[in-house]
Amino acid sequence: MNKTSHQLLFWAGTFAALVGLFSQKWNSFSDAFYFAGMLLPVAAGTAYFFIHFLVPRFLYTQQHLRFALYTVYTLLVSAFLMVWVSMISFILLADLKWYEMSPIAKDLFQMALVTYFIAILFSFIRMYATNQGQAIQIEALKEAEQRNRQSVLTIRSNRQNVPIPLAELLYIESLADYVKLHTLNDLHMSKEKISKLEERLPNHFIRIHRSFLVNQHHVERFGGDYVIVAQQELPMGRKFKKEAIVKMKELSS
């Protein structure tokens, strides 16, 4: 389920909760449904304007004074819209005869506060999630950059640390309980898992099969189900084929 579906479910659940809470309080499902339907879009619109406009444009660019000022403006405009929505609601429901709306009239402000509280809580949760996601992406980019800068892969082979120049590494082959690292002039054995080696290698090392990891710089050609490296034809697994072909095309362009 994507983010849009999650958000739609959240607002639908919020709407249902507001209607359920205030329909019991007012003994009127239709009035609760009507007012929640009028007030919630204003609060939700305010939340999305805050998240998608004010935060990225002013907070993330370190313009804290403008961010605070425009946030206040946004809340004032939103409150003004809430008042107008309430007035229109009373006009349509009771022709401004407040006594006919009792006890709804005195509790409408309470509904507005609850709605705003939910919208503000939603805004801060979304902002926190976005910040966490960006932090994870930045960290992943830093790790990828460090991997791409490395020129040597050090492995454990025969109880020794063996440095292998990445420029000479052709491909890695995974067998039952060990891996073979095929280089231009040699062959190395290691107990390390191919998945762990993949995490340590730069982006131009591409997983084409559960048992093969190839150096794109030494790929001579490839087809729909094979890759040729140093005149060796290696199979391309169904699980890895689509992503591997995309990566090889991008790196070779």
**Does residue 94 have a pLDDT over 60?**
no
Nearest C-alpha neighbor of 74 from the set 56, 109, 50, 90: 50
pLDDT tens for 2-44 read 678 888 888 888 899 888 888 888 787 887 888 888 888 888 8
Nearest C-alpha neighbor of 190 from the set 155, 161, 160: 155
pTM of the shown model: 0.50
Per DSSP, the three-state class of 79 is helix
Cis peptide before 103 (omega within 30 of 0): yes
Q: Determine the CATH number of domain 152-252.
A: 2.40.50.1020
Predicted local confidence at residue 11, as pLDDT: 87
User: Can you tell me the distance from the alpha carbon of 213 to that of 173, in angstroms, rounded to the nearest whole number?
Assistant: 7
Predicted local confidence at residue 97, as pLDDT: 54
Q: Write the single-letter amino acid at 220.
A: E
How is the chain split into domains, by residue range? 3-147, 152-252
167 is written with which tokens?
Answer: 């420029």
